[in-house]
Amino acid sequence: MTSWFSKLVVSMTIRMPRWFVGWVSRRYVAGNTIADAIKVMQRLAKENACFTVDVLGEEISTMDEAQYFFEEYRQLIDAIIEHKIESDLSIKPTAFGLLIDRKKGYNNIKKLVQIANKHGMFVRLDMEDHRVTQDTIDVVVELHSEGLSNVGTVYQGRLFRTLDDIDYLEQKLGPAADYRICKGIYLEPPEIAHTGYNEIVSATNASIDKMLASGAYCAVASHDKPVIDHTLSALKSYGMGPGIDDPRSNAGPVRSGKGPGYEFQMLLGVRGPLRRKLAAAGHKTRVYVPYGEKWYEYSIRRLQENPTVGAQVAKAFLMPWTNRP
Ligand code: FDA
């Protein structure tokens, strides 16, 4: 997808009325409220999907705003339990204040992870841009050292540092490490990240190999066939697959609500047929379900940060046969 087209889509979208952006993002955002998210998950559960839910929001500018996210996630946990939905949580560390006040931000995250832990629920710390990479990893290590093992983070294949970061987490947590691996949505500078498609795919695949070799749990978050095909063949080489207990000699603990050492994850509204095919083959598939009142700000910001997303959205609408929800 050419970059001029991506930029054109973005510049057009930010000039569109809010209702139009809302109409387009309906496919990718569950709605404004917890009830909307629950409804979407109940529908997709029939496709054998499980979930991770994200409360949409901007990076906060005061610690008071962190309270909103804490409270919303707390209510979300109650709703997930009440409706017996198979779901964990995805949170953005900066929404809990990590960049404003490290200590308070950490304590906010810890409080939520403790509540989730009481319900046997896992919390994934989404990975944001490179300003918080190390902090996010440190938070996970610190929480584990405080006995909270229901937490993991996300590594971005595009970052040069990722292979070293896998070594680091293996050293700290051993096979108790629980990764989501994705390409990375933030367009990081060439000094610290791969920028070409082929390099990003190769680096992401190399990370998947290293995670699997370490015995860790590996959630592959991609809709890209070369990444998924690579994962399937890597799994085969370890004898891993649907319905088989994780056979790796160094495998981490059995985790309730998770796959046998791995799972696939996809975004709500993206490449449904591919997800359903993986689910039909017996693989654990998890859908990332974002919802929240701040959907508009979130959508516009994501488009501005990575114009390729705009082009992918436009392509999904103009050529629906290439990418059905
Ligand atoms: P690629 O971008 O090449 O997409 C492959 C194909 O999928 C496209 O050709 C298109 O058809 C379709 N597609 C992908 N994204 C689409 C979209 N938004 N709209 C329409 N079609 C689309 N990043 C990050 O930095 N930190 C994080 O914590 C996370 N978390 C996360 C969770 C989950 C569950 C997923 C699936 C992804 C993330 N990401 C993320 C985003 C990730 O880094 C990456 O930007 C996107 O997944 C797109 O990369 P793909 O591997 O899908 O390849």
pLDDT tens profile 132-146:
999 999 999 999 999
Instruction: Give pLDDT tens digits for 16-29.
Output: 878 888 877 888 89
pLDDT digit string, tens, across residues 223-256: 999 999 999 999 999 999 999 999 999 999 999 8
Say if ligand 1 is within 6 A of residue 186 CB.
yes
Q: Is the CB of 154 under 6 A from ligand 1?
A: yes
Convert the pLDDT of each residue in 74-97 to its tens digit: 999 999 999 999 999 999 999 999
Q: Is the beta carbon of 54 within 6 A of some atom in ligand 1? A: no
What's the CA-to-centroid distance between 182 and ligand 1, angstroms? 7
Contact 117, 148 (CB under 8 A): yes
Residue 303 has pLDDT above 90, yes or no: no
Is residue 266 in contact with ligand 1, taking CB distance under 6 Å? yes
Q: Which fold has domain 33-291?
A: TIM Barrel (3.20.20)
Question: Is residue 208 pLDDT above 80, yes or no?
Answer: yes
Mean of per-residue pLDDT scores for the chain: 93
| Ligand 1 pocket, mutate which of 267, 275, 278, 313 (most atoms under 8 A from CB) | 267
Catalytic residue among 54, 88, 126, 165: 126
| Joined tokens for residue 26 | 């309906």
Give the Å distance between the CA of 79 and the centre of ligand 1.
Answer: 27
The model's pLDDT over 143-190, given as tens digits with 9 standing for 90+, comes to 999 999 999 999 999 999 999 999 999 999 999 999 999 999 998 999
Higher pLDDT, 316 or 125: 125
Confidence check: pLDDT of 8 > 70: yes
- The best mutation among 44, 140, 151, 183 to test binding of ligand 1, ranked by most ligand atoms within 8 Å of the C-beta, falls on 183
pLDDT tier, 58 (very low <50, low <70, confident <90, very high otherwise)? low
Q: Which pLDDT score, from 0 to 100, does residue 161 have?
A: 98
Sequence-separated (6 or more) residues with CB below 8 Å from residue 145: none
Average confidence (pLDDT) over 121-139 = 97
Res. 3 pLDDT band, cuts 50 70 90: low
126 is catalytic: yes
What residue spans define the domains of the chain?
A: 1-29+304-325, 33-291
Q: How high is the pLDDT of residue 316? A: 77
Spacing, Cα 184 to ligand 1 middle (Å): 8
pTM of the model: 0.95
Instruction: Assess contact for 107 and 72: CB atoms under 8 A.
Output: no
* Centre of ligand 1 from the C-alpha of residue 185, in Å: 7
- pLDDT on residue 234: 98
222 CA distance to ligand 1 centroid (A)?
6
Q: What is the pLDDT of residue 236?
A: 98
Residues in a beta bridge with 124: 90, 152
**Active-site pick, 124, 158, 180, 271:** 180
